[in-house]
Copies of this chain bind each other. A is one copy, B any other.
Amino acid sequence: MTVDDDADLQVVMRHYLEAEGYQILSAHSGAELLSKLESTAPDIILLDLILPDNDGLSLLGQIRSKCSAAVIVVSGKDETADRIVGLEMGADDYLTKPFEMRELSARIKAVLRRTGGGDAPANDKAAAGNLAKAPRLLFGGWVLDRRQYQLFDSEGKPADLTSGEFRLLEALVSAPHRVLSREQLFELTRGGSDFDSYDRAIDIQIARIRKKLQDDPKNPELIKTVRGVGYMFTHDAKASE
């Protein structure tokens, strides 16, 4: 996917890369790019940092939260500082205009070689990214609302979670189908490193959450105990506004 407001360059790049066998999608603005990322998962993105509607670097961050495509920044600015910041922000390579098509091609190949391009990332990863940030998470008839720091049932009635309980449930729901150890849960919800492996505090909080959600530990619909390891949220969760 090429993202550049210079239409001539886009045409040239498209022709050259298509002749090499690549399948090209184009976008002319950051908004168009982000919109296309909702429905497609490119292996690699060629990104111009100077776009009409977006600061390219913050766009880089947004791309990163939506997909794990490799990113080659294509820029008219040849300052070392820009190159460094771009790479530090997550770009996989940096190419300065004007450049030869053959160099672009070689860099694309080098990057894809290393990412095993074609492993279009993951709905999984993208989904996880969304879950980590969305204002609301929906699951099994419940709405976990980060803004209100509370969980609501299907009729909007609050489950009356304490802040500690909310944080613990949030951590689990944000990583559905993934076992989290008690230590991980401790650090996710409280930070610091005072976890003692004989500590039962997480277990107690889990029990309290289960009681409020009417989830039976023996036939769990939401929170499953993985004996000797920790707990896992078993239900699918959806991000929502």
Listed in ascending order, the chain A residues whose CB lies under 8 Å from chain B are 70, 80, 83-84, 87-88, 91-93, 99-100, 102-103, 106-107, 109-111, 113-115, 119, 122, 124, 147-150, 162-164, 177-179, 226-229, 232, 241
Contacts and interface: CB of A to CB of B under 8 A. Distances in A.
A86 to B, nearest CB: 8
B232 A148 contact: yes
Contact of A111 (B114, B119, B122, B227): B114
A80 B100 contact: yes
A163 B224 CA distance: 14
Contacts of A163: 226-229
Chain copies in the assembled complex: 2
A228 B124 contact: no
16 contacts: A80-B99, A83-B106, A84-B102, A84-B106, A87-B106, A87-B109, A92-B114, A147-B178, A147-B179, A148-B177, A148-B178, A149-B226, A150-B226, A162-B227, A163-B226, A163-B228
A149 B84 contact: no
Nearest to A104: B84
Contact of A84 (B100, B147, B229): B100
Contact of A87 (B88, B99, B110): B110
Contact of A147 (B100, B109, B114, B177): B177
A60 to B, nearest CB: 12
